[in-house]
Amino acid sequence: MHSIIIVSHKFLTQPDDDLVSFLNKNRYRNVLHVRHSFSDAPDRCSYYSWYKEGKLYREERTGDYKKCIEPLIYIKELLFTFKWIYRENIKWDYYIGMDGLCVFFGNFLRFLRKIDKTIYWAIDFVPENRFDGKFKNKVYNWINTQGYKRSDEMWDLSPRMIEAREKFLNIKKTDYKLHKIVPYGVWLDRIKKYSYKECEKNTLVFMGHLLEKQGVQLVIEAIPEIIKKFPDFKFKIIGGGSYKSTLVKLSDSLRVSQYCDFKGKIDNIELLENEIAKSCVAIAPYIKKLDTWTYYADPGKVKTYLACGVPVLLTDIPWNAKEIEDNQCGKIITENKDNLINTIAEFMNSTYNQKYRTNATKYSQKFNYINIFNSITL
């Protein structure tokens, strides 16, 4: 079995964690998982975990660089990535980077002949204005473009991503050395499903990074009307982020804080999945004018909801939203308050809810991680 490096920036669980789990279950010779805290994370530490034939061999965490200016943080990430990779005399077979900067590090290591092949597994595509300043956006696009063209393999989460790069960056499919669609998936076997009778009645759940674009505020603003229909309504909000304090203040100002359960970030993925699975309905109310990520990506939360057997309400932004609605395991909603309230009420109905729970479980079989990872060659 090969020796593989996976490097990512992260705040919440991402597909790199699932790939590491798969590789360790199959007892790959060496798996080195390097993580750098994302800008919205509580810290700016770097972490690594080294597995040998499926067992944890060594791990380490750096100090917190939160007070450093951004360029120094990226230099820190480069230095620690190189340090951990060079620590042992190993010639690594694959280096998988989850964003342009991580892949930039990998392509440099390939130039130094420390690794054989690089793979860019892109988990998002932001066509314009990823950052506030023009200079930072130019640097961001340049680094990503180098990764798209120079990596040995290019993996995308959704088919929209390759179309978007041609539209916005004039990068054609022939510019990649090798291209694959490797989408978000789920581990179906570990998730306990709940029937409508067993679930938490009249409970709506959201899971994700708390940013304005995620639309959680739309639900909170609708709660005064929802509780007229369901006095025992509960909105579970799982995750953290820069927008959380605004959401808490909003719930206080509307006097609905008792209906909002801010659970924070749940690090244990199995506990997270169980919290979702026992909910009645799930929601992903992306706001179109604010969301420059989701349209071109493959939002993992939607698939997690479905794999947990929970009907999902979502705005028409994810590439598979219509497919989800057509398979009757979820429904497309709008940002209109009345539409939101009426659809939530509709899905709290026992017969309707159970039908969609059954369909969600059936539909989720198509993105089982076992099948996805077995289809790629490493």
pLDDT tens digits, 314-338: 999 998 999 999 999 999 999 999 9
The residue to which tokens 């009249």 are assigned:
202
In 74-158, at which residue ranges do the beta strands (DSSP E only) sit? 92-97, 115-122, 153-156
Q: Whole-angstrom Cα distance, residue 43 to residue 65?
A: 7
**pTM here?**
0.80
User: For 47-68, how does the pLDDT look when each residue is reduced to its tens digit (9 = 90+)?
Assistant: 999 999 999 999 999 999 999 9
CATH superfamily, with its number, for domain 189-366: Glycogen Phosphorylase B; (3.40.50.2000)
Q: Looking at domain 3-182, which of 2.60.120.10, 3.40.50.2000, 3.30.565.10, 3.30.70.890 is its CATH number?
A: 3.40.50.2000
Residue 124 has pLDDT above 90, yes or no: no
Q: Whole-angstrom Cα distance, residue 42 to residue 28?
A: 32
DSSP 8-state class, residue 172: -
Q: Which spans in the chain are helix H? A: 15-25, 70-86, 100-111, 134-150, 159-169, 216-229, 244-253, 269-277, 300-307, 321-326, 337-347, 350-363, 369-374
pLDDT at position 127: 73
Instruction: Specify the range with the lowest mean pLDDT, choosing from 1-10, 137-146, 257-266, 356-365.
Output: 137-146
Greatest Cα-to-Cα distance within the chain, rounded to the nearest angstrom? 66
> What mean pLDDT is predicted for residues 286-313?
89
Q: For the chain, how far is it from start to end, CA to CA, in angstroms? A: 9
Please give the backbone phi and psi of residue 209, each rounded to the nearest 5 degrees, phi first. -75, 125
pLDDT classification of 41: cutoffs 50, 70, 90: confident
Element (H, E) at 75: helix 70-86
pLDDT at position 230: 97
Q: Whole-angstrom Cα distance, residue 35 to residue 82?
A: 13
Given its phi and psi angles, is residue 191 left (phi above 0), alpha (psi -120 to 50 degrees) or beta?
beta
Burial of 375 from C-beta contacts in 10 A (0-12 / 13-18 / 19+) = exposed
Evaluate whether 289 touches 271 at the Cβ level (below 8 Å): no
> What mean pLDDT is predicted for residues 259-275?
94
> What mean pLDDT is predicted for residues 10-31?
91
CATH 3.40.50.2000 residue ranges of the chain are 3-182, 189-366
Nearest to 203 by CA among 180, 223, 181: 223
DSSP 8-state class, residue 290: T
Q: Whole-angstrom Cα distance, residue 121 to residue 14?
A: 11
The residue to which tokens 């809810």 are assigned:
353
pLDDT classification of 290: cutoffs 50, 70, 90: confident
